[in-house]
Amino acid sequence: MRAVSLSDDVTAELKDWLSENWDPELTVGRWWERLGNAGWSAPALPEHSFGRGLSRDDSIRVQRTIAEFGALGAPGGLGLMLAAPTIATHGDEEQRHRYVGDIVTGRAAWCQLFSEPNAGSDLAGLQTRAERDGDEFVVNGQKVWTSGGQVADMGMLLARTDPGVPKHRGISYFALDMHQPGIEVRPLREMTGRALFNEVFITDARVPAKAVIGGLNNGWAVANTTLAFERAGLGAGGGSEAGGIATPGTVAGDLERRVGDVVRQGVNRRTGRGGLFLSSERTLFDLARANGAIADPTIRQDLMRLHILNQIARYMTLRQKALRAGGGDIPGLGNMAKLSMSQILRLSREVGLRILGPYGTLHAYSPEERQRLDQVTGMPLARAVTEQALFSQGPSIYGGTDEIQHNILGERVLGLPREPANDRTTPFKDLTKNR
Ligand SMILES: Cc1cc2nc3c(=O)[nH]c(=O)nc-3n(C[C@H](O)[C@H](O)[C@H](O)COP(=O)(O)OP(=O)(O)OC[C@H]3O[C@@H](n4cnc5c(N)ncnc54)[C@H](O)[C@@H]3O)c2cc1C
């Protein structure tokens, strides 16, 4: 007989809880309130931050169980993925209660106000400044590539609070209220036709001193926690089984919808094919079989290469899991996982467009166009391929570009010498900068 594991206990407890609490007549907001306050929205968080201290595996199992039960999963987005675990790690009790509480119950959506026009890979070179004014800071500067900025209630803001020390030491991490006159969000349209990210202009915006997370001028350490969660999430393919079909926060307008309706629409949309990368690999195999491209030996070869890369990525995750279960780790595995994701996406784009042939040049930018395109091509799956091809440049840039992952592996894992630079010892105000 198989021993009852912690995972079995958790799953049984969750199923009981769902039977008692799931009600499709609730609004999305009321449902997320129940889910979050019971510790099921982000069960990997510690108990002091609305979690249950579960392992990553168990927490994925929780998401899956909620989806299989037919209930709406946790409020997704950067709040749950990045802000909540960062604040759970560095925030004080009041911050954890307020900010994490609003995230796990979907009341607030968050965006990440890190990158600037002159500070991406060199994030510590950021020039947005926050100057003390009594119990508040006054913030001025510009951010860019802010995903979800147009629906965010709050922002994870990095700003310079002391230009008189070397760049990594004079940065603070704030929880910034996005609903104030000093914040202007301008969407940027991508070549997919969508506008996922934005420019954010900050002019005399105000943030209370008690909204500094992790201590004044300690923002670099806090930001690195956020980036570590970002890499871990992205390398694993991101996303949650049951989430993502309703948007948290007060702007998107999903909180007042009937939760049963949201789930019904989500089930229709979900592929149910098990994970982003595997699902896209199967899509490519299906398409190649359907349009005869599978007869081309070079396409078969590329599809096999893709399959092998996906399997290697899977083994890498399993290896990490096994090591972590035994208390060990492999330095740099998160960076390698992210590089492997970039490689898989690039190959998917190349082979996908070759399978589609001339149809790969067609892409639809509105629901009506999508319908017409499906009729013309007779291949509804083609849209998923062109969408992925157009977006495939993004993941090898965000969360640290491929080159930056290589640098980290070289310097921190292989022990190679750093590039010579004076920016770790010279006060930020004395460094040469682009304006
Ligand atoms: C889809 C998408 C979503 C994003 N969402 C967000 C968000 O929500 N919030 C946010 O703050 N940011 C976000 N970003 C921004 C992202 O973090 C930056 O684009 C990224 O850090 C790279 O910075 P950059 O664009 O300024 O490029 P740069 O840093 O200017 O780099 C340009 C090129 O130079 C290379 N390079 C730079 N420095 C080095 C070096 N030392 N050694 C070797 N090569 C180097 C880079 O690899 C790259 O190829 C997003 C980006 C994308 C594409």
99-126 tens-digit pLDDT: 999 999 999 999 999 999 999 999 999 9
Of 254, 262, 258, nearest in space to 107 by CA: 254
* Backbone φ, ψ for residue 11 (5° rounding): -60, -40
Looking from the CA of residue 400, the nearest atom of ligand 1 is 21
Indicate whether 142 pLDDT > 60: yes
Looking from the CA of residue 78, the nearest atom of ligand 1 is 8
Best probe residue, ligand 1, of 121, 231, 341 (max atoms within 8 Å of C-beta)? 121
Best probe residue, ligand 1, of 158, 342, 398 (max atoms within 8 Å of C-beta)? 398
Confidence label for 136 from pLDDT (cuts 50, 70 and 90): very high
Which is more confidently placed, 240 or 360?
360
| The pLDDT of residue 275 | 45
Of 39, 40, 34, 37, nearest in space to 21 by CA: 34
Q: How confident is the model over 417-435, as a mean pLDDT?
A: 85
Residue 24 falls in which region: left (phi positive, over 0), alpha (psi -120 to 50) or beta: alpha
Indicate whether 196 pLDDT > 60: yes
CA torsion sign for 160, 163, 168, 169 is negative
Structure tokens at 180: 């104030």
Looking from the CA of residue 119, the nearest atom of ligand 1 is 26
Q: Whose CA is nearest to atom 53 of ligand 1?
A: 394
Ligand 1 centroid, distance to 231 Cα (angstroms): 14
* DSSP run (H or E) holding 171: strand 171-177
Rounded CA-CA distance 279/274 in Å is 6
Ligand 1 centroid, distance to 298 Cα (angstroms): 33
* DSSP run (H or E) holding 188: strand 183-188
60-112 tens-digit pLDDT: 889 999 999 999 999 989 999 999 999 999 999 999 999 999 999 999 999 99
* DSSP run (H or E) holding 204: strand 197-208
Q: Whose CA is nearest to atom 37 of ligand 1?
A: 121
Which is more confidently placed, 1 or 328?
328
Pocket of ligand 1 (CB under 6 A): 111-112, 114-115, 120-121, 145-147, 197, 394, 397-398, 401, 403-404, 407
Task: Give the long-range contacts of residues 6-13, CB within 8 A, separation 24 or more.
Answer: 6/58, 7/57, 7/58, 7/61, 10/43, 10/52, 10/54, 10/58, 10/61, 10/62, 11/61, 11/62, 11/65
Mode of pairing for the β-strands spanning 171-177 and 154-160:
antiparallel
Ligand 1 centroid, distance to 394 Cα (angstroms): 9
Tell me the longest C-alpha to C-alpha distance in the chain: 71
Ligand 1 centroid, distance to 395 Cα (angstroms): 10
pLDDT above 70 covers what percent of the chain?
92
| The pLDDT of residue 242 | 43
Rounded CA-CA distance 103/74 in Å is 10
Confidence label for 340 from pLDDT (cuts 50, 70 and 90): very high
Looking from the CA of residue 121, the nearest atom of ligand 1 is 29
Q: Whose CA is nearest to atom 1 of ligand 1?
A: 394
Q: For the chain, what is the mean pLDDT?
A: 90
Rounded CA-CA distance 341/90 in Å is 29
Question: Looking at the whole model, is its pTM more than 0.75?
Answer: yes
Q: Which residues are catalytic?
A: 230
Ligand 1 centroid, distance to 382 Cα (angstroms): 29
Ligand 1 centroid, distance to 404 Cα (angstroms): 9
Give yes or no for a contact between 121 and 270, defined as CB atoms under 8 angstroms apart: no
Looking from the CA of residue 114, the nearest atom of ligand 1 is 11
Confidence label for 278 from pLDDT (cuts 50, 70 and 90): low
3-state DSSP assignment of residue 336? helix
149-193 tens-digit pLDDT: 999 999 999 999 999 999 999 999 999 999 999 999 999 998 888
Ligand 1 centroid, distance to 171 Cα (angstroms): 19
347-404 tens-digit pLDDT: 999 999 999 999 999 988 888 998 898 888 888 888 889 988 999 988 899 888 999 9
How many CA atoms, within 13 angstroms, populate the side-chain half-sphere of residue 67?
A: 21
Complete DSSP assignment for 356-413: HGGGGG----SHHHHHHHHHHHS-HHHHHHHHHHHHTTGGGTTTS-HHHHHHHIIIII
Best probe residue, ligand 1, of 397, 409, 412, 423 (max atoms within 8 Å of C-beta)? 397
| The pLDDT of residue 327 | 84
Indicate whether 30 pLDDT > 50: yes
Best probe residue, ligand 1, of 113, 143, 144, 145 (max atoms within 8 Å of C-beta)? 145
Q: Whose CA is nearest to atom 35 of ligand 1?
A: 403
Q: Whose CA is nearest to atom 24 of ligand 1?
A: 120
Indicate whether 52 pLDDT > 70: yes
Confidence label for 4 from pLDDT (cuts 50, 70 and 90): very low
Looking from the CA of residue 122, the nearest atom of ligand 1 is 29
From the number of C-beta atoms within 10 Å of its C-beta (0-12, 13-18, 19+), residue 213 rates as: buried
Looking from the CA of residue 190, the nearest atom of ligand 1 is 1
Indicate whether 276 pLDDT > 90: no
Instruction: Look at 18-27, 132-141, 319-328, 345-354 and tell me which has the smallest mean pLDDT.
Output: 319-328
Ligand 1 centroid, distance to 115 Cα (angstroms): 8
Ligand 1 centroid, distance to 131 Cα (angstroms): 26
Q: Whose CA is nearest to atom 48 of ligand 1?
A: 401
Rounded CA-CA distance 124/160 in Å is 9
Which amino acid does the sequence have at 404? I
